[in-house]
């Protein structure tokens, strides 16, 4: 009887490349991802090419003037998000294990149900001694409470004119409504449509 040795090839994914991939998808393009990760647009494109070479599959395809993820790109993005979350949680736990106190945080309802539970869970695991007091409210109220010192931190929709604010993402504006009452988005909203 002959036994063949099985060779296992290990490929390590570069976490910086994965962070760039997630940023490109979250922010809607390589240019915005480049700003977020602090690299030039050409460096970001090169990272994505190297990532494609490493996994041996195309991650993006052209659609119109932009790029969209291929099926393997979508799959890798799901794993990238899990890897990044675990990496960030480990770093936070190692650096923040001695922190304690209260953090008063405000955010709009748009994020409260979908985004907040996962982030709070991750934060609590990394900083078990910190109590988070979350307030869900409208932008104007959040900003006013932040200005008065009633909140330590707030996330809100803005035109970017607030001093000391950091842009987290740029979200496209879209109209959602009944197809029977649709109108041309390049035209003003008709009276009574809202």
Q: Kindly report, residue by residue over 103-159, the tens digit of the pLDDT.
A: 898 888 887 777 788 888 877 777 777 888 888 998 889 888 888 889 998 887 776
Model-wide pTM > 0.75: no
pLDDT at 25 over 60: yes
In the chain, the number of structural domains is 2
Evaluate whether residue 120 is within a structural domain.
yes
Evaluate whether residue 2 is within a structural domain.
no
* Predicted pLDDT of residue 78: 95
Residue 30 structural domain: 11-96
* Predicted pLDDT of residue 185: 66
Evaluate whether residue 138 is within a structural domain.
yes
Q: What percent of the chain has pLDDT over 90?
A: 20
Closest to 73 measured CA to CA, from 86, 65, 62, 85:
62
Question: What string of DSSP letters covers 47-100?
Answer: HHHHHHHHHTS--EEEETTEEEE-HHHHHHHHHHHHHHHHHHHHHHHHHHTT--
How far are the Cα atoms of 14, 48, 69, 143, 154 from residue 81, in angstroms, in the given order? 13, 16, 15, 30, 24
pLDDT at 181 over 70: no
Residue-wise pLDDT tens digits, 52-83: 999 999 999 888 887 889 999 999 999 999 99
Evaluate whether residue 1 is within a structural domain.
no
Q: Three-class SS of residue 133?
A: strand
Question: What's the first-to-final CA gap in the chain, in angstroms?
Answer: 78
The residue among 49, 65, 96 that closes a domain is 96
Evaluate whether residue 191 is within a structural domain.
no
Evaluate whether residue 183 is within a structural domain.
no
């Amino acid at each position: 009887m002959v036994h063949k040795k099985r060779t296992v090839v290990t490929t390590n994914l570069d976490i910086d490349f994965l962070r760039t991939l997630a940023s490109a998808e979250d922010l809607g393009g390589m240019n915005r991802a480049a700003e977020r990760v602090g690299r030039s647009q050409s460096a970001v494109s090169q990272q994505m090419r190297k990532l494609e070479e490493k996994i041996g599959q195309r991650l993006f395809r052209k659609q119109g003037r932009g790029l969209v993820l291929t099926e393997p790109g979508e799959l890798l993005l799901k794993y990238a998000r899990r890897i990044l979350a675990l990496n960030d949680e480990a770093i936070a736990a190692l650096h923040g294990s001695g922190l304690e106190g209260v953090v008063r945080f405000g955010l709009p309802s748009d994020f409260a149900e979908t985004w907040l539970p996962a982030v709070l869970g991750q934060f609590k695991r990394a900083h078990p001694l910190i109590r988070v007091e979350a307030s869900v409210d409208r932008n104007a109220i959040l900003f006013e409470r932040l200005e008065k010192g009633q909140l330590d931190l707030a996330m809100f929709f803005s035109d970017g004119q607030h001093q000391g604010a950091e842009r987290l993402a740029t979200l496209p504006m879209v109209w959602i409504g009944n197809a029977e009452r649709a109108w041309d988005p390049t035209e003003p909203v008709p009276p009574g449509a809202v």
